Structure 1
Amino acid sequence: MTTQVLEDATTSVAPAIEYGRTIERSLAHRSAISEVFVTDVRSLRPMAVTAGIHLPLTHLYYSDHRQQPKLHDSLLLLEAGRQSAIAGSHTNAGVPAGTMAIVHAFQFSLRNLHALRIGGEPGPPRVDTDFFGKTARHSGRYRKGRLEQRIFMGDVHVADHSMDVLFLKGDENEILRHAQRGTPAPLSSDFTEVPGDVGRVAPELVGRDNPLNVVLTEPEFTAGSVTARVAPRFDNPALFDHVYDHLPAMTLVEAARQLALLTVASAGTGRAAASGSGSGSLCAIGYEGGFERFAELDIPLTATATPAPAGAGQHAIRVRFHQDAQEIAELTVAVADVSHLHGSSRSRHA
């Protein structure tokens, strides 16, 4: 995967956006107000919206990074884009409340990294979204859809995101889940025991400080790959904002990011990355992949990372997820060294 990171600022004209407060949390499918990052949604034209977003500077999960210089988290931008799309689908694209959007495939890439330095932002952030889809002939409902997004800091184009989704009503989701499992799925709230940190990857090796945010355990290193078990903490309020009957897609993306950082860092510091230098200058700048099945909560989930062809100055790490010897998802993560951004002043002259 080659991810565009050229510093070719793109401008776009948008209507006035409010930034004073976040939107009603149900529009973003969030339970906690602190996990809502959309401030306003305005129509651009039929099936297109622009949204203001809030990027918190102190957040248990999104601010927990050792990477220098400090940049706004790529997964924070991805989550803000996801919430903007959900809210816009309800307010502008005719998707009724209560509809579940199941991600089938997505692509996300950063560009103009200088504009993402925390403290040097060139302007307020926003997300422009275009929706694509056809309604079913008899029901008038959307069954499948696609969205394409451009994320801006002021007038600087900093990210692109596209996603293919399947829309389900609650009862349809239950039927699908039961058909896949053959039994009712447990809920994340059923897992009340807080796991210890035995076997959990050291936070600094995946660019973290807080062990709560580490989702990998029991890593195994070979000459050509790194394999680990995916075991997030269910008491992490950012990864599990509400009750789930599966591991959400964003948790798998986080697992892929951590495994990619661990793979790149260990290749440079020795098999076990024992030096502790970890991934301090490495940053995940792009993600691409798809999800074939739900990641079950009660079946061991493993992820294996291998290098893939990459663009100049980047590493590409392909991560495959398996449960019961079946591949359920595959993601490719683009990783870059961002140490060259130290001292850059271009963010104020985009």
Structure 2
Amino acid sequence: MTTAVHWIPEADHIMPGNADIKRLVRKADAFEVLVRDWREVGDNEHVVTVNWPAEHDFYRPEPDAYGALLFTESLRQGLALLSHTAFGIPVAHRLGWERLRSTVAPAALRAGGETRFVDMRITHSEVSRRRMGSTFLTAHVEATRNGRRLGTAEVRYNAHPGAIYDRLRGSYADAVEAFARALPPAPPVAPTLVGRTNGHDVTLAATDRPGLWQLRVVTSNTVLYDHPHDHIPGMVLLEAFSQAAQAVAAPRRVCPMNFDTTFHRYVEFDRPCWIEAEPITRYDVRLSAVQDGGVVASCIVTSAPHMGH
């Protein structure tokens, strides 16, 4: 068992000079980096500590609570970090999610005087390396904040070397070119309908059919797109699913907390993507992202009553 702790100096944010940690967690903007330290505690078992920002317009849209997807972004950064450090996957490999199941305890998201440090205990039950260089991984995450259970997750993801990834992506392999082909975003729905205060953060555009929206790709939103991507990131789809769950519940206000998501294939920038919603119960919604007539991602979102109610 390793006792060394890899520590990043305390601060609200990583400072811009720390290029290594930005590269490891796949963020271009140093002020979006959450990871503070990580250590090995057993075979394929690590603890990654993140520091949630005191203020954040996107992940803390309300003054008294963080959004549940800040937990998802935290584990995304933690998994990227471990893939390159603990498991030796080259930074040049391309990471992608296949399946994500996550649940968050609403009370642990309160943004009062509690510590902003979150400990994520991450156990990898699968690290499967293929002959051509691809790796397939499954991680189980248990997170606590101030000793209180924050959330859990199970993530299946992969890492492909450039030669394999480029072959998979074909004409879309160049991220700069693919990113530049993004369709202009349609007008947003009312921000209050989807739990937002700023139209710049809205990922849905209205259609003439109830329960159907067009995905808005606002590439100038540097939280969701802080560097060019060759496809629409999974975090964007999760945000769209979260906003659609809010819209389905309207005029009731809810907090989307549980996500059971499968990413079926890459979602392209240069063609419309549609978000379809089918209510299951008062707090459960089945959601699909559809492009070119096929489902590219699917999710069941379970919400909790809004904490202010």
**TM-score scaled by length of structure 2:** 0.87
- Alignment counterpart, residue 337 of structure 1, candidates 301, 305, 308: 305
Q: How many residues align?
A: 298
Q: CA, structure 1 residues 70+178, in 2 after alignment: closer, same or farther (shift >3 Å)?
A: same
- Deviation of 1:95 after TM superposition, in Å, equals 2.1
- Deviation of 1:189 after TM superposition, in Å, equals 3.6
1:232 alignment partner, SS class: coil
- Could you tell me how far apart the structure 2 residues matched to 1:166 and 1:106 are? 12
2:56 maps to amino acid: H
Q: Cα deviations across residues 175-212 of structure 1 (Å, max 9, x unaligned)?
A: 10118x7x978422445x96573xx2011111111111
Match of 2:160 in 1: 168
Percentage of pairs with the same residue: 24
2:298 maps to amino acid: E
1:168 maps to amino acid: H
- Deviation of 1:43 after TM superposition, in Å, equals 1.3
Calculate the aligned-residue CA RMSD, in Å.
2.6
Contact 1:18/1:52 (CA < 8 Å) preserved in 2?
no
Match of 1:159 in 2: 151
* Equivalence map 1:153-302=2 (5 Å): 153-178=145-170, 186-191=177-182, 195=185, 197=187, 200-222=188-210, 226-266=211-251, 279=253, 282-302=254-274
User: Which protein has the bigger strand share?
Assistant: 2
Match of 1:97 in 2: 91
Q: CA, structure 1 residues 110+135, in 2 after alignment: closer, same or farther (shift >3 Å)?
A: closer
- Could you tell me how far apart the structure 2 residues matched to 1:28 and 1:138 are? 25
Q: Cα deviations across residues 283-326 of structure 1 (Å, max 9, x unaligned)?
A: 111111101111110111101101125xxxx6011111111111
Q: CA, structure 1 residues 262+135, in 2 after alignment: closer, same or farther (shift >3 Å)?
A: closer
Match of 1:323 in 2: 291
Structure 1 runs (4+) deviating above 4 angstroms are 15-19, 183-186, 193-196
- Alignment counterpart, residue 39 of structure 2, candidates 32, 42, 58: 42
- Could you tell me how far apart the structure 2 residues matched to 1:175 and 1:70 are? 46
- Deviation of 1:142 after TM superposition, in Å, equals 5.3
Contact 1:133/1:142 (CA < 8 Å) preserved in 2?
no
Match of 1:5 in 2: none
- Could you tell me how far apart the structure 2 residues matched to 1:195 and 1:251 are? 13
- Could you tell me how far apart the structure 2 residues matched to 1:284 and 1:135 are? 33
- Could you tell me how far apart the structure 2 residues matched to 1:175 and 1:227 are? 33
- Deviation of 1:57 after TM superposition, in Å, equals 2.6
**Higher RCO (CA-CA < 8 Å; seq separation 6+):** 1
Q: Cα deviations across residues 138-190 of structure 1 (Å, max 9, x unaligned)?
A: 46x552110111111021111001111122112211110118x7x97842244
- Could you tell me how far apart the structure 2 residues matched to 1:302 and 1:162 are? 26
- Could you tell me how far apart the structure 1 residues matched to 2:92 and 2:283 are? 40
* Equivalence map 1:118-129=2 (5 Å): 118-121=111-114, 124-129=117-122
Contact 1:64/1:210 (CA < 8 Å) preserved in 2?
no
Is there any run of 5+ residues in structure 1 with no aligned partner, and where?
A: 1-14, 269-278, 343-350
Match of 1:271 in 2: none
2:67 maps to amino acid: D
Match of 1:76 in 2: 70
Contact 2:51/2:116 (CA < 8 Å) preserved in 1?
no
Match of 1:272 in 2: none
Is there any run of 5+ residues in structure 2 with no aligned partner, and where?
A: none
- Could you tell me how far apart the structure 2 residues matched to 1:184 and 1:127 are? 33
- Deviation of 1:120 after TM superposition, in Å, equals 3.7
**TM-score scaled by length of structure 1:** 0.78
2:244 maps to amino acid: L
Q: CA, structure 1 residues 136+28, in 2 after alignment: closer, same or farther (shift >3 Å)?
A: closer
